Amino acid sequence: MLLCLAVASGGCLEAEDDVVQFEEDFEDGVASWTVVGEVAVVSTNHPGEHAVWLAPGASMTHALSITRALEGNDSPYGGGFTDGNWIEYTGDCGGRPSLALEPASDPPDASVGVRLVLEGPPQQGFARTRLMFPALPAFIPQPDDDDDPWSPSDPPDVRFTSLVLAARAPCHVDNLRVMVSGGTLGY
């Protein structure tokens, strides 16, 4: 079954698009997270529905296990095509959030940590926010790099190994998800 949407290309998204790779609704608390600073699970708009509240300077880290394959030079999008991942969440955090990819190992390899930093001040009511992953950082070898240890026909897999949620101002977050397009926009 196809789901047709008004997209810039005028096409349809296939049923396998928009694959949830990680999701957290905080209904079971934050026991699976590593917490630094003041964090609390609180009730939200509906009875039995919860969100996490982060104080300024607080952060939470959760392990991820997401592997993405880089496209080789024979890809129709060119070598190293890396679009397709994004984060979405509901919250009352004002300001402009930032999303960064960081080395997850020392020395850096193809393991990447994802860092979402929420700004402030808090707004009235909750709103849905979506942020595309930035381009893969320079420490990830690209298939078209001359000094690459991998051949263009065998690019490395990229492993997203952790998600850090950090707050610069007090705010609530709910329905946090890491997504990927499963169709032609996936990599």
Tens digits of per-residue pLDDT, 144-179? Answer: 555 555 555 566 678 899 999 999 999 999 999 999
And the tokens for 23? 């999701």
Domains and CATH numbers, the chain: 15-180 (2.60.120)
- According to DSSP, the β-strands at 111-118 and 157-167 are parallel
pTM: 0.79
Q: Please tell me the predicted confidence (pLDDT) of residue 134.
A: 86
Q: Please tell me the predicted confidence (pLDDT) of residue 125.
A: 87
Tens digits of per-residue pLDDT, 137-148? Answer: 777 766 555 555
Tell me the CA distances in angstroms from 46 to 24, 43, 51, 93, 127, one per residue in order: 17, 8, 11, 19, 15
